[in-house]
Structure 1
Amino acid sequence: MITVDDLLASARDKTGLRDFGDEWFTEPLSVLVRALNEEARLSEAGLVLTRRRLTALLADRLRLRRLHRDHPEVRDEEVTVAAEICGLPRTGSTLLHRLLAASRHVTSTLSWETSYPLPFPGEGPDAAERKQRARDRAALFLRMSPEFGDIHTIEWDGPEEDVILLDRTFTSMSFDSFYRVPTYGTWLRGADQAPAYRELREWLQALQWQNPARRGLPWVLKSPHHLTAARTVLDTFPGCRIVMTHRSPAAAVPSYASMVTSMTGQYSDRVDPVEIGRYWSDRFATTLRAFTEIRRERPDRFVDVRFADMVAAPVAQAEQVTAELGLPADREAFTAYLARNREQRHGRHTYTPEDFGLTEAGLARDFACYEEVAP
């Protein structure tokens, strides 16, 4: 059994700090903890890992408040977000993000710093301890889910989704991707995420303050989570464009179900692929219907990229997107990243919709509204 009070106490004991600041986050944390206890079917190891994970996220909240007290200038950092790349998972968004992030004209969140965004006591500016922990964490993840590397390339020091920073608000699609927590997922998609995105800005400020070379560079970020809060993204980051990647849900949804099945197996011995497939098919169909309305309100804030075009000509697509964002292209960096990406690929990711209780006909029906407006 996990309790919110025990988690808060453990984080305070771990850090020696007391002040969480505004405790608005206890609502999403409470919803999540209830779902974990009642729905997630955690294994004994999964319970231990989950309690440790939630405690670490709370500890980072305490450390961020201390950073603000000790260095109030962090809040003065000017953060400019040029783009949030999103779309259904498995639609080419990761490739596009890593291509754009390779450019010297932009900056992005890196994997090691989304896991460990603040310096440990006594750590130097090279962040050696955090980087080593990130290497070890990535290796452990792949040992626990060896097939995951065939689905998604892990780069401990490469660009990573900013949603991992949002995990510290407990308002994040990460949780229903790693755990069976349907009541949390329902709550999340109806919640006001504005406080979480205000804190996302604070985390970006903290990362930029630690590395002054980032000042003046626009951030290019990415996560499918932003589909659930597109209006909030646009309100929080003026001038930000949403770059949406498009692929037929008949391919994208089963692919993500396969990934979630792999991740959930780290925490539960009772994983039902059919349950996962139907859950995410319903969640994404509902999300895209709401997303369509937001696009109609602010069509000038969106850039579209087709999965087929990303596969056929990734460098050309990256150049086109940077042009739409009003940023200089960096063809040399794009080409170099693409060559490295090809070397990293290994194994094959194989699945069928039926593996997850889905059919192509059913997906076409459920996502018909999206298919009608997708480019």
Structure 2
Amino acid sequence: MSTNNPLWHAPPHPQWLSQVNDEARCFDLQAVVPLDETSLLDHAIAKTGLSDFGEDSWREPFQVYLKSLESEAQLTLFGRLMARNDLILWLSTRLEVMDWLKRYPEIEDQEVKAPMFIVGLPRSGTSILFELLAQDPDVGVPLMWEALQPCPPPETATYRNDSRMEYADSVFTQWNRVAPEFASMHEMRGDIPAECGLIMAGSFISDHIGSLHQTPSYAMWCADADYLPAYQYHRKVLQVLQWRNPRARWLLKAPEHQVHLEVLLQVYPDARIVQTHRDPIQCMASTTSLMGTLYHMRSDQPFNAAMFENILMGEATAQRLEKVMDQRDSGLVPPANIADSRYQDLIEDPLANIQRLYRHFDLDLSDTAKTAMQAYLAAKPKGKFGTHRYPVQAEHLSARPLFERYQTRYQVPNEA
């Protein structure tokens, strides 16, 4: 990739953010906002009054991540503040989850039956499909507030007005105040469906963690990691969430699941998987813009897309798609467990697309669910939060031949 023609240019920070970060240039930021292991662990333990983090699979990725933050992320003052807050939240949540499981072992007897997972390339329609399917009153979705702070376990009587919702709203809408252009890319509130990466953050093996900063050493560690502990932790959190507020059927989503379907099915053998399909060139261009914006919230370091070739570059993206095709052909991912959703079909006729998915999994799409989905679409027209513009570069287009098998198999048209 040419370094003279970067795939993404950072827009100016809001004036208030630039002033805060500029004033801090004379600070010893590592001393003012420490991100060392001892400080973080001590604070989480003091905050919760707990000290048992459970089994130790989280410690190595946690340590790799801290080292990567200090040596690679080049965080601003506000970036360090956001990172420290995240880390203390994730550590505290892990402590609390383990404490509830220890005190109430019957939580792990909770059955997580046939959860539905939406997977696919980032920016391939996973979010709008997730939001639409979440309108079905027969499904349960983890909301941002409960994924961020699942303990104490939510209760049915207070679920709709839990005080944690307001806190999560403050945390996640802050992203729009730090980077106003982010609002056109991804809606963030405390009461909208959460991706699984946030649920997995307490395992410290999570694409959500890797999406926040340019931490290539952590990304490389995750690329070779065993994801079983992350999915096992994910299941524990779902069990906590449904213990006092039952969910008949979970609806879940994360693009990263596409890379780990064999592990997902090991933990959830009856999972229903919906794979989204869109022109990979368009997905890569949109993802480049999204990731650049996320990293720019916390650092003034130029965005190096080459560091994230696993989801931004053509050959690695093609390998992700080829892997799933091979897994489906071999039967490792059984046909009964997976259905397809093309972006074009979802945009042109959302309900017809959803009805096909329900038929594949022998599920009933009730009139109540249809009405709720139609109302949601009417209330959220495309562009409600502005237009997300992401120019397709020559580096993206040159990868087109790599996707011939994928696009032919799923009849995915070119968009660029």
- Same-fold status (TM-score > 0.5): yes
Q: Residues 155, 315 of structure 1: CA spacing in aligned structure 2 closer, same or farther, 3 A cutoff?
A: farther
2: CA distance, partners of 1:117 / 1:308: 36
TM-score for the superposition, normalised by structure 2: 0.82
| Structure 1 residue 334: Cα displacement | 1.7
Of 342-351 and 22-31, more deviation after overlay is shown by 342-351
Tell me if 1:69 matches 2:108. no
SS in 1 for 2:225: coil
Tell me if 1:15 matches 2:48. yes
Q: Residues 277, 193 of structure 1: CA spacing in aligned structure 2 closer, same or farther, 3 A cutoff?
A: closer
Amino acid at match of 2:384: R
Identify the residue that residue 229 of structure 2 maps to in structure 1.
195
1:353 to 392, 397, 402: 392
1:99 to 119, 125, 132: 132
Tell me if 1:87 matches 2:120. yes
2:177 to 143, 147, 158: 143
| Structure 1 residue 291: Cα displacement | 2.8
Tell me if 1:171 matches 2:205. yes
Greater Cα radius of gyration, structure 1 or 2? 2
Q: Residues 83, 326 of structure 1: CA spacing in aligned structure 2 closer, same or farther, 3 A cutoff?
A: same
| Structure 1 residue 138: Cα displacement | 2.8
2: CA distance, partners of 1:103 / 1:374: 27
2:406 to 342, 345, 370: 370
2:293 to 245, 262, 276: 262
Across the two proteins, how many residue pairs are aligned to each other?
A: 367
1: CA distance, partners of 2:73 / 2:309: 16
2: CA distance, partners of 1:180 / 1:30: 16
Deviations 1:242-275 (A, max 9, x none): 2100001110111011111111111111132654
Identify the residue that residue 247 of structure 1 maps to in structure 2.
278
1: CA distance, partners of 2:90 / 2:226: 20
Q: How does 1:285-324 map to 2 (within 5 A)?
A: 285-297=318-330, 298-300=333-335, 301-324=337-360
| Structure 1 residue 366: Cα displacement | 4.2
TM-score for the superposition, normalised by structure 1: 0.91
Q: Residues 286, 182 of structure 1: CA spacing in aligned structure 2 closer, same or farther, 3 A cutoff?
A: farther
1: CA distance, partners of 2:218 / 2:105: 34
| Structure 1 residue 278: Cα displacement | 5.0
| Structure 1 residue 326: Cα displacement | 1.9
RMSD of aligned Cα (Å): 2.2
SS in 2 for 1:268: coil
Tell me if 1:325 matches 2:361. yes
1: CA distance, partners of 2:110 / 2:338: 26
| Structure 1 residue 304: Cα displacement | 0.8
Identical amino acids, percent of aligned pairs: 31
| Structure 1 residue 203: Cα displacement | 0.3
Amino acid at match of 1:114: A
For the Cα contact (< 8 Å) 1:164–1:174, is it kept in 2?
yes
Identify the residue that residue 375 of structure 2 maps to in structure 1.
336
| Structure 1 residue 276: Cα displacement | 6.4
2: CA distance, partners of 1:133 / 1:211: 20
| Structure 1 residue 176: Cα displacement | 2.3
Which consecutive residues of structure 2, in runs of 5 or more, have no partner in the other structure? 1-29, 412-416
2: CA distance, partners of 1:299 / 1:279: 25
For the Cα contact (< 8 Å) 2:197–2:209, is it kept in 1?
no
Which consecutive residues of structure 1, in runs of 5 or more, have no partner in the other structure? none
Q: Residues 6, 228 of structure 1: CA spacing in aligned structure 2 closer, same or farther, 3 A cutoff?
A: farther
1: CA distance, partners of 2:63 / 2:78: 21
Q: Residues 351, 253 of structure 1: CA spacing in aligned structure 2 closer, same or farther, 3 A cutoff?
A: same
For the Cα contact (< 8 Å) 1:7–1:55, is it kept in 2?
yes
Amino acid at match of 2:164: R
Q: Which runs of 4+ in 1 moved over 4 A?
A: 273-279
Q: How does 1:94-243 map to 2 (within 5 A)?
A: 94-119=127-152, 125-126=158-159, 128-212=162-246, 214=247, 217-243=248-274
2: CA distance, partners of 1:53 / 1:277: 22
Deviations 1:292-329 (A, max 9, x none): 33222324122111111111011111121122122210
For the Cα contact (< 8 Å) 1:246–1:307, is it kept in 2?
yes
SS in 2 for 1:296: helix
